[in-house]
């Protein structure tokens, strides 16, 4: 069982489609969002099996002005992150082991007639389209349960937060100089750089690498630029081909430089149970 993140707690033990789940996670937007986004078609969906997971390319690429999404030698788990990841923590269970262990090159290209619509979509809407793709190509079926589980509460440490507010973007196309789009990128084997990021997004990133969910209770609003180290859930040694799990205590220590801390607690948690999933078709 591994941690992901979702945008809203759902009703207990109901059957749902990925579109319904993503709609419940949506927020209003001037651009097409998860609640109102029209369905788009991917006219090319490509999977190719890799020998091993590539830890130097950890993110699914969704170019802002592009016509596709893709990843390089990553597990199917990373597509779950895109389809269902957002603000509040949840768990996934019942998935076969290959969801985490088998690596694939993946690309889905938007049909030419749908590219303008895709390029106007915000991230929640694109998550919705990814969830639809998983249901279609991998025959993914799920249901929801709610459980009381141990969590970490992300809170402000003694001495207060040590965060740098995101800077305005002087090249913003709308002339508002709003901060650039939220982003996280790896700057080393054990360090992630967050840009224009709020505390709920940080909590979700931490939950994905710990033994329990992380709930934002900092009370901090706004967006910030910062680095977190150490962060990865696993280390891969290319010389020995050994994979070692990161010490949870090390991850917890990683937030101290931000003036934050993780306190143990309990919370109602949405659990997404995988009822059925098929391996990707080979191209």
DSSP states along 32-86: --TTTPPP--EEEEEEEEESS--TT--S-B--TT-SEEEEEEEETHHHHHHHH-S
Write down the pLDDT at residue 233: 47
Sheet of 68-75, strands arranged across: 42-50, 103-110, 68-75
Question: In the prediction, which pLDDT does 238 show?
Answer: 47
CA-to-CA dists, residue 56 to 52, 187, 235, 250, angstroms: 12, 10, 10, 20
User: Can you say whether the dihedral through the CA atoms of 252, 254, 255, 261 is positive or negative?
Assistant: positive
pLDDT, position 265: 93
> What local confidence, expressed as pLDDT, does residue 137 receive?
94
| Distance between CA atoms of residues 182 and 190, nearest Å | 20
Distance CA 78, CA 190 (A): 18
Q: How would you classify the pairing of strands 103-110 and 183-188?
A: unpaired
Whether 75 and 53 have beta carbons less than 8 Å apart is answered as: yes
Residue pair 69/109 in contact (Cβ under 8 Å)? The answer is no
Q: What is the pTM of this model?
A: 0.57
Q: Are 76 and 99 in contact, with CB atoms under 8 Å apart?
A: yes
Q: Mean pLDDT for each consecutive 10-residue tract of the chain (283 residues)?
A: 34 35 38 57 92 76 84 89 64 87 93 91 84 92 85 93 83 57 70 86 80 88 85 48 57 85 87 91 78
pLDDT for res 175: 52
Distance in angstroms (rounded) separating the CA atoms of residues 113 and 45: 16
* pLDDT, position 40: 85
Report the C-alpha gap between 175 and 66 in whole angstroms.
22
Q: Which secondary-structure segment (H or E) carries 194?
A: strand 191-197
Q: Which residue has the tokens 């934050």?
A: 260
- What integer pLDDT is reported at residue 177 of this predicted model? 56
Q: Checking DSSP bridges between strand 88-93 and strand 260-276, what pairing results, if any?
A: parallel
Written as six digits, the tokens of 69 are 């999404």
CA 1/CA 15 separation, integer angstroms: 20
């Amino acid at each position: 069982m591994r941690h992901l993140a979702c945008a809203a707690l759902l009703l207990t033990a109901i059957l749902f489609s990925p579109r319904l789940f993503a709609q419940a996670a949506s927020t209003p937007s001037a651009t097409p969002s998860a609640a109102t986004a029209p369905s788009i078609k991917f006219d090319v969906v490509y999977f190719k099996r890799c020998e091993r997971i590539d830890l130097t390319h950890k993110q699914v690429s969704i170019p802002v002005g592009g016509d596709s999404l893709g990843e390089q030698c990553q597990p199917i788990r990373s597509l779950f992150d895109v389809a269902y990841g957002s603000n509040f923590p949840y768990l996934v269970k019942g998935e076969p082991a290959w969801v985490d262990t088998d690596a694939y090159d993946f690309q889905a290209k938007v049909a030419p007639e749908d590219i303008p619509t895709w390029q106007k979509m915000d991230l929640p809407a694109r998550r919705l389209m990814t969830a639809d793709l998983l249901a279609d190509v991998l025959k993914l079926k799920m249901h929801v349960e709610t459980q009381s589980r141990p969590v970490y509460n992300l809170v402000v440490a003694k001495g207060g937060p040590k965060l740098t507010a995101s800077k305005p973007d002087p090249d913003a196309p709308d002339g508002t100089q709003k901060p650039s789009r939220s982003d996280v990128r790896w700057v080393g084997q054990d360090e992630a750089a967050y840009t224009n990021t709020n505390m709920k997004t940080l909590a979700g990133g931490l939950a994905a690498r710990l033994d329990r969910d992380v709930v934002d209770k900092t009370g901090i609003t706004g967006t910030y630029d910062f680095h977190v180290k150490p962060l990865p859930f696993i280390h891969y040694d290319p010389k020995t081909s050994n994979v070692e799990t990161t010490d949870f205590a090390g991850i917890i220590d990683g937030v101290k430089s931000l003036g934050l801390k993780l306190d143990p607690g309990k919370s109602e948690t949405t659990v997404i149970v995988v009822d059925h999933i098929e391996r990707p078709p080979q191209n």
